[in-house]
């Protein structure tokens, strides 16, 4: 196992979060490191020296993993907080709906006509009488 492969494996082992996101990040880092090693090899450097130079230039993978994990923890906390806020809003809306229903308040009744003729054509809750054609 080369120095790059060991460094990438150690880096991958430190990462937390969703598997797919971790895999994409590890693949990206690994591809970057291998491209840099290939560039060093093209310049005439030996493989071991090229890998060591690339790892030194890349920086501390452990610190990078810590930053990733901290970011993931913040995102997970924000996601949970948003879900909690949504659940509280849904519970509050349901409680308000139940309270309004339980209060027994109905919409005010529509005004009804008082004379006989208007009652026949009114729509105040009574069925209207069928109209005749005049025959």
**What is the mean predicted confidence (pLDDT) over 125-133?**
55
Residue 19 has pLDDT above 80, yes or no: yes
pLDDT tens figures, 37-65: 999 999 998 999 999 999 999 989 999 99
CA distance 100 to 85: 22
CA distance 9 to 25: 12
pLDDT tens figures, 70-90: 999 999 999 999 999 999 999
Query: Is 113:123 a contact under the CB 8 Å cutoff?
Result: no
Which pair of tokens denotes residue 10?
Answer: 């150690």
DSSP output for 71-128: HHHHHHHHHHHHHHHHHHHHHHHHHHHHHHHHTT--PPPPP---SHHHHHH--SSSPP
- The structural domains of the chain, with segments of one domain joined by +, span 3-121
Which pair of tokens denotes residue 53?
Answer: 């130079």
Residue 130 has pLDDT above 90, yes or no: no
**What is the mean predicted confidence (pLDDT) over 5-31?**
95
Residue 135 has pLDDT above 80, yes or no: no
Query: Is 50:40 a contact under the CB 8 Å cutoff?
Result: yes
Count of CB atoms situated within 10 Å of the CB of 28:
10
């Amino acid at each position: 196992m080369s120095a790059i492969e060991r460094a990438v494996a150690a880096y991958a082992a430190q990462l937390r979060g969703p598997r797919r996101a971790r895999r994409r990040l590890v693949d990206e880092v690994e591809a970057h490191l291998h491209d840099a090693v290939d560039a060093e090899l093209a310049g005439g450097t030996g493989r071991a020296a090229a890998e060591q130079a690339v790892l030194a230039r890349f920086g501390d993978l452990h610190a990078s993993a810590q930053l990733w994990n901290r970011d993931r923890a913040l995102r997970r906390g924000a996601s949970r907080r948003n879900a909690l806020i949504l659940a509280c809003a849904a519970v509050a809306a349901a409680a308000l709906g139940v309270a309004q229903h339980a209060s027994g308040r109905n919409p005010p009744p529509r005004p009804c006509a008082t004379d006989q003729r208007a009652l026949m054509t009114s729509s105040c809750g009574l069925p209207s009488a069928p109209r005749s054609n005049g025959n």
